[in-house]
């Protein structure tokens, strides 16, 4: 960093050339330039990078732990001074590793079996869905016919109710001689009375029909005897 700064400093001070600070000019560089030149002479650290670092008793735990020792032995082998037997997990740790592997690292056969089971389940659901759709399509004509029948019955009931209401209104006009509000209490009372009369007429009609049927059956039996 200092060398580019020194090369660019004369130009920044006034466009002087590189030979301006030559020995024959009789001039010395300014004080900031001399300080930069003196501070740039850094000493070597004197590190021995030919070998590798071995942790000692005072090293932090992350340098002395089992994982660090495994990495050290894996990189340098027996030259690291680490015994290979000490890197083997204890029985409890080995069981934990086996359990962890069985839970989170399934084998290829297990993954294939799981995928196959999911595929079969999806195929089963698809077949059931197609079967349900086919059954619903088979019921569709009957459902449409039932809907049309219910619609016809509803229209018939609406026409009957409309005719019944018009009949009640006409009877109310005949009785009271003027138009009656269907929501009034008088109209409601009249409706109840008319319904009672209609029920009585219906019962009488059914009784007559029953008596006529019994009489005709007795006549037929008498003629047969």
Domain spans of the chain, in order of start: 2-39
Query: Per the confidence metrics, is the pTM higher than 0.75?
Result: no
Asked if the model's pLDDT at residue 211 lies above 90, the reply is no
pLDDT band, residue 2 (cuts 50/70/90): very low
pLDDT-derived band at 1 (thresholds 50, 70, 90) equals very low
Of the candidate ranges 35-39, 58-62, 161-165, 181-185, the one whose mean pLDDT is the lowest: 35-39
In the chain, the largest separation of any two C-alpha atoms, in whole Å, equals 167
Q: What is the pLDDT of residues 164-184, one digit of tens each?
A: 778 877 777 777 666 667 777
Report the chain's mean pLDDT, rounded to a whole number. 77
pLDDT category of residue 82 using cuts at 50, 70 and 90: confident
| Alpha-helix residue ranges (DSSP H) falling in the chain | 2-14, 31-39, 61-64, 66-76, 91-104, 108-176, 185-224
Q: Taking 60 as the threshold, does the pLDDT of residue 34 lie above it?
A: no
Handedness of CA 8, 9, 11, 16 (dihedral sign): negative
What is residue 47's predicted lDDT score, i.e. its pLDDT? 58
User: Which one has a higher pLDDT value, 186 or 69?
Assistant: 69
Q: Give the separation between CA 194 and CA 164, rounded to whole angstroms.
A: 11
Res 109 pLDDT > 60: yes
Q: What confidence category does residue 57 fall into, taking pLDDT thresholds of 50, 70 and 90?
A: confident
Three-state DSSP class for residue 86: helix
Hey, what are 190's tokens? Answer: 């009249």
Coil vs helix vs strand at 182: coil
**180 and 187 Cβ atoms separated by less than 8 Å:** yes
pLDDT at res. 83: 86
pLDDT for residue 116 = 95
The terminus-to-terminus CA distance of the chain in angstroms comes to 141
pLDDT for position 80: 83
Percent of the chain with pLDDT over 70: 72
Do the beta carbons of residue 63 and residue 55 sit within 8 Å? yes
Is the pLDDT reported for residue 88 higher than 50? yes
Residues 95 and 117: their CA atoms lie apart, in Å, by: 29
Q: Are 165 and 191 in contact (CB under 8 A)?
A: no
Task: Provide mean pLDDT across the span 101-116.
Answer: 88
Contact (Cβ atoms closer than 8 angstroms) between residue 79 and residue 71: no
What is the pLDDT averaged over residues 24-42? 56
């Amino acid at each position: 960093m200092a060398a580019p700064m020194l090369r660019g400093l004369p130009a920044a001070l006034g466009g002087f050339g590189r030979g301006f600070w030559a020995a024959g000019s009789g001039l010395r560089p300014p004080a900031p330039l001399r300080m930069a030149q003196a501070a740039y002479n850094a000493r070597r650290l004197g590190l021995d990078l030919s070998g590798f670092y071995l942790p000692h008793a005072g090293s932090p735990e992350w340098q002395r732990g089992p994982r660090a020792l495994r990495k050290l032995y894996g990189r340098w082998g027996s030259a690291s001074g680490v015994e290979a037997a000490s890197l083997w997990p204890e029985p409890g740790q080995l069981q934990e590793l086996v359990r962890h592997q069985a839970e989170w690292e399934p084998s290829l056969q297990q993954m294939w079996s799981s995928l196959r089971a999911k595929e079969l389940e999806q195929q089963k659901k698809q077949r059931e869905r197609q079967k349900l759709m086919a059954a619903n399509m088979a019921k569709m004509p009957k459902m449409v016919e039932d809907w049309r029948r219910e619609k016809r019955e509803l229209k018939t009931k609406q026409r009957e109710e409309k005719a019944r209401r018009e009949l009640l209104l006409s009877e109310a006009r005949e009785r009271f001689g003027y138009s009656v509000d269907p929501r009034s209490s008088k109209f409601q009372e009249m409706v109840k009375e008319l319904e009672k009369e209609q029920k009585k007429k219906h019962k009488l009609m059914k009784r007559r029909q029953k008596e006529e049927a019994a009489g005709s059956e007795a006549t037929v039996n008498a003629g047969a005897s």
